[in-house]
Amino acid sequence: MNNAIEEIEKNDIGKIEKDVFLSKYTTYRVGGLAKYIVYPKNAEKLVTLIKILKKNNVMFKILGNGSNLLFSDKQFPGILIKLNEFNDVEFIGNKVLVGAGYPIIKLSLLCAKHSLTGLEFASGIPGTVGGALFMNAGAYNSDMGYVVQNVKVLTPDLRIITLENKELDFHYRTSFFKKHPDYICLETLIRLEKGNKSAIEDLIKERRKRRVISQPLEYPSAGSVFRNPPDNYAGKLIEDLGFKGLRKGGAMVSEKHANFIVNAGGASSKDIKDLIDYVHDKVLEKYNIDLKVEQEFVNF
């Protein structure tokens, strides 16, 4: 690891953070120590960084906004890469070219200012553009698959190519990237439609009010825990079991929305994972429905 860090510094890859607790970088506000987080300045530096890490056999992972991840309480055994510098935005008519590190909520609001409609669904999703592409984030019967024209990616063999929408296998809460996690999103071209600025902004405000009423935004969480099974709702299944308010340590099934597990205060990663596993197993036992977890467990 030390040899890799020396090379990273020598090649001026970008900012390096040392000894950071991942509670600072995840929306659950939990997670063990990360020895190093590296912020490459651009795609060229990212390629150099990955070459260095592979040469030195150092494990690495791309970290977006930490809004769909549960890191264990253990130290992360490698280097985390954050693409915060991949944050350029360019409007081209009714299209927007945006870097993978740009926050998707901020992009949704910016598109509204430009009178572009189609990305309103993302105005409450607390991730980066890259993270939203990875999981095909969505809400209100829409998702990234409806608006993405193409994505520029870094392949496992370190080529930069562009994949078109039809190649990206967007489906409910999944995509090509979930099945091929070695591909790294760099930027995407999003195709929207011209609309009425006031109407777009009013819709975003109205949905914000609905989220405040229906979701536990006052607690750290990672949004919906389980995908909705066909013709049913995960939250209703969990609520019907009487699990609202159920706790394990500092983790709790939200009393406002049963498909949210929240850090009610002092939760560990283990508390949260144990509660997710318990709820999953009880739903399977009661209804014979195998709920799929939306979130990714890392380093357990």
Give tens-digit pLDDT for 15-70. 999 999 999 999 999 999 999 999 999 999 999 999 999 999 999 999 999 999 99
Counting the structural domains of the chain, the total is 3
29 C-beta neighbours (distance < 10 Å), count: 18
Give tens-digit pLDDT for 128-157. 999 999 999 999 999 999 999 999 999 999
Q: Give this prediction's pTM.
A: 0.94
Q: What is the CATH number of the domain that holds 287?
A: 3.90.78.10
Find the mean pLDDT for residues 218-247: 97
- Catalytic: 214? no
DSSP β-bridge partners for residue 60: 79
Nearest to 104 by CA among 174, 32, 190, 24: 190
Q: What is the reported pLDDT for 262?
A: 98
Q: What is the reported pLDDT for 202?
A: 97
Question: Has residue 77 been placed in a domain?
Answer: yes
Pair 21, 53 in one domain = yes
Q: What is the CATH number of the domain that holds 71?
A: 3.30.43.10
Question: 45, 64, 81 — which closes off a domain?
Answer: 81
Q: What is the reported pLDDT for 41?
A: 98
Find the mean pLDDT for residues 291-297: 96
- Catalytic: 224? yes
Q: What is the reported pLDDT for 10?
A: 98
Pair 157, 239 in one domain = no
Q: Which of 72, 108, 120, 173 is catalytic?
A: 173
Q: Which of 72, 175, 224, 268 is catalytic?
A: 224
Pair 63, 146 in one domain = no
Q: What is the reported pLDDT for 24?
A: 96
Angle between helices 197-214 and 104-113 (to 10 degrees): 150
Give tens-digit pLDDT for 171-222. 999 999 999 999 999 999 999 999 999 999 999 999 999 999 999 999 999 9
Rounded percentage of the chain residues whose pLDDT exceeds 70: 100
Q: What is the reported pLDDT for 183?
A: 98
- Catalytic: 294? yes
Q: What is the reported pLDDT for 124?
A: 94
Q: What is the reported pLDDT for 300?
A: 96
> What is the domain range of residue 232?
216-298
Rounded percentage of the chain residues whose pLDDT exceeds 90: 100
| Average pLDDT for the chain | 97
Question: Has residue 231 been placed in a domain?
Answer: yes
Q: What is the reported pLDDT for 155?
A: 98
Question: 18, 47, 81 — which closes off a domain?
Answer: 81
Question: Has residue 210 been placed in a domain?
Answer: no
Pair 73, 9 in one domain = yes
Pair 184, 144 in one domain = yes
